[in-house]
Chains A and B, each alone.
Chain A
């Protein structure tokens, strides 16, 4: 079962901590100031520019202006690979058929332009019994299950 909570019409969080309400600023503006703690990453932004500042970030919004633009998936993984543990929120044209992959890439909050049907969301998040690749979530890939106990490169 998905352990999500819906606080507003469309915000869905998979985190237990306090919701962050700080206004997210653009990446350029974030890099110009010392005290901003929330940022919005657009598809063309370089998520790696945030890496020196992860300590003061509590919310990263990754915008999907159109669901077919997949750059945000890489932005999310890059931030998680760099050790970011704060809220990573997918915003914009976020649809139910993409959320399972988004979860795998490290998103733990969603604020879609149009509300997601709760039943569909539940189904989508429980769809995959296994995964073929390691990603930003904790799921064990199939190859790890096949070779339990074997050390890999």
Chain B
């Protein structure tokens, strides 16, 4: 994986000193809260209901055991012994003191980490495919391109006061594991008929209160022009994105209001101009970065045999391991969704354990998934039983990847000052309900996503089943949505009808699941059945 050189290190070190200075001036009253706010946000410090939250960047979701140990140490030293992995492959801590922030950033810098641009109206941490470098179906490893964009977007002098936040995802396979088309810019690295690599640019996707799927504005930007193209796309947005209404300030609104064709025309014009400005790094820089992402030394001739005599182990293998490009290896998913638990939370002890297991069984590498789980990307099949045994003992062995128990949920009203309703208790009750009624396995792949307000941090628009918490005359109310997908078959979910109270929404999810179990045909997932039969049978069952 990528390692800092003296330049990268000097930049994060300078950032720590800058933020210490800014914090000092704030505490001395020389910066107003309004002046300080964007500065702290660009260092990941967000004011929640009860305390500051610190969001730490995990670029493209990749980290090593040393870094995971540090994340655990920070949870112990500065927080309450746990952290929360997020839908953008980051980690956030919920109980941070402003006075400690500089020290935490310094601790992070000591292991080549930071919280730069994890919040605020700037280019955020770049996300990617959590199986990058391991997946059998990728064209290339997408992470070098994400790293190139990370450096380009860090401390960008022109694009640090954008109309609104800006999220970029980079993938390199036709299977989309990163919700690429629901980003402000989604990039898919592709190979053309001449066998050259290029970047397909999708611009103007997003969730939030106005969900949109990004249109492709250029199907093939040559790799040695990718940064220039991104610069052009951002400049058009910085100049013309709406600033009169923060709810209409994302680039998706600009692309929608101009029309994709006109937006594209403006980008191409800016791109033609910028090609003469020398903003593109040399190809040698991309080659340098690629060198850090070479395959680990996979062993040849490993056995693909697995002792499946323990049924619990066999179930976990079937559910939570993914085919790997190297024979004899798999990618193993550590579920952070125990029944009745808080989706995405991990204790310091669990983080230490995951770090040790990565060192012992996965070439020292871990990944954070946007679905708030952890991946050990390169595990020998022969090591799976030992790995599973260690995970089970620590409460990390839930065999529920992509099932109805594998819920994405935002922090909701338990933490967030924007929320209208709690998300976590609803997630807990749903996973408990389905674990108890035994339907999880029968339902198969069923992606359920919960947001506690229309800002949609819990991706409810993209859930096979989505839940949106709203405030109805002072009472929490939950709307049910069906038919969304964040994957390559991307679609936006639709609301079924009137909302439900907290107990009612759990029943409603089970009712919808039962309609699927009744109506499904061979091999259909919940989403496939919904797409075939439409909303009506679900509505009849829910409200009839």
Chain B residues with CB below 8 A from A123, complex form: 21
Give bound CA distance, A77 to B235, whole Å: 10
List chain A residues, Cβ under 8 A from B196.
none
A153 contact from B156, B239, B282, Cβ within 8 A: B282
By the criterion CB–CB under 8 Å, are B282 and A133 in contact? no
In angstroms, how far is the closest chain A Cβ from the Cβ of B433?
45
| Size class of the contact patch on chain A | 35 or more
Question: Smallest CB–CB gap between B25 and chain A, Å?
Answer: 7
CA distance A95 to B116 in the complex (A): 20
Cβ < 8 Å to A, chain B residues 295-350: none
Question: Closest residue of chain B to A123, judged by CB?
Answer: B21
CB-based contact B157/A120 at 8 Å: no
A-B pairs with beta carbons under 8 A, tally = 112
8 Å CB interface, A89-116 against B: 95, 97-98, 100-102, 104-105
Report how far A133 CA is from B230 CA in the complex, Å: 13
- Tell me, yes or no, whether B284 is within 8 Å of chain A by CB: yes
User: Shortest distance in angstroms between B4's beta carbon and chain A's nearest beta carbon?
Assistant: 11
Taking the closest CB of chain B, its distance from the CB of A47, in whole angstroms, is 9
A55 at interface (Cβ–Cβ under 8 A)? Answer: no
Question: Complex: how many Å from CA A74 to CA B160?
Answer: 11
Query: Which chain B residues (114-133) contact chain A, with CB distance < 8 Å?
Result: 121
As a 0/1 sequence over residues 43 to 73 of chain A, the CB contacts with chain B under 8 angstroms (1 = contact) are 1000000000000000000000001111101
A130-153 Cβ-contact flags toward B at 8 Å (1 or 0): 111111000001110111001111
Closest Cβ–Cβ distance, residue B38 to chain A (whole Å): 6
16 additional A-B residue pairs with CB within 8 Å, beyond A70-B162, A133-B279, A135-B157: A73-B238, A74-B235, A101-B155, A104-B157, A127-B14, A127-B17, A128-B14, A129-B11, A132-B151, A134-B279, A142-B7, A145-B7, A146-B5, A146-B288, A151-B282, A152-B284
A67-B161, A73-B238, A74-B238 given; A131·B281 CB < 8 A = no
Which B17-59 residues have C-beta < 8 A from chain A? 17-18, 21-22, 25, 30-31, 35, 38-39
Chain B neighbourhood of A81, CB < 8 A = 273, 277
A132 to B279, CA, bound (A): 10
In the complex the two chains form, is A101's CB within 8 Å of B38's CB?
no
Q: Select one of B30, B31, B157 contacting A73, CB under 8 A.
A: B157
CB distance from A80 to the nearest CB of B (A): 10
Q: Which residues of A approach B to under 8 Å, CB–CB? A: 43, 67-71, 73-75, 77, 81, 95, 97-98, 100-102, 104-105, 117, 120, 123, 127-135, 141-143, 145-147, 150-153
**A to B CB contacts below 8 Å, 21 in the list:** A68-B38, A68-B121, A68-B161, A69-B161, A70-B121, A70-B161, A74-B158, A97-B22, A97-B35, A105-B157, A105-B158, A127-B14, A131-B155, A133-B152, A134-B278, A142-B11, A143-B151, A143-B281, A151-B282, A152-B280, A152-B281
Chain A minimum-CB-distance residue to B287:
A147
B285 within 8 A of A: yes
- List the B side residues contacting A128 at CB < 8 Å: 11, 14, 155
CB distance from A100 to the nearest CB of B (A): 8
Other-chain contact of B25, A73, A120, A135 (Cβ < 8 Å): A120
B283 at the interface (CB under 8 A from A): yes
> Shortest 6 CB-CB distances between A and B: which pairs?
A70-B161, A152-B282, A104-B157, A101-B157, A143-B281, A142-B7
Q: Does B225 contact A (CB under 8 A)?
A: yes
Residues of A within 8 A of B156 (CB): 132-133
Give every chain B residue within 8 A of A104 (Cβ-Cβ).
157
Contact between chains at A70 and B224 (CB < 8 Å): no
A130 near B11: Cβ-Cβ < 8 Å: yes
Q: List the A residue with the shortest CB-CB distance to B32.
A: A95
Could you tell me the distance between the alpha carbons of A74 and B243 in the complex, rounded to whole angstroms? 15
A-chain residues with CB within 8 Å of residue B151 when the two chains form the complex: 132, 142-143
Instruction: Find A70's partner among B8, B159, B288 (CB 8 Å cutoff).
Output: B159
Among candidates A71, A117, A130, A151, residue contacting B239 with C-beta atoms closer than 8 Å? A71
Given the contacts A70-B159, A152-B278, A147 and B284 also touching, CB distance less than 8 Å = yes
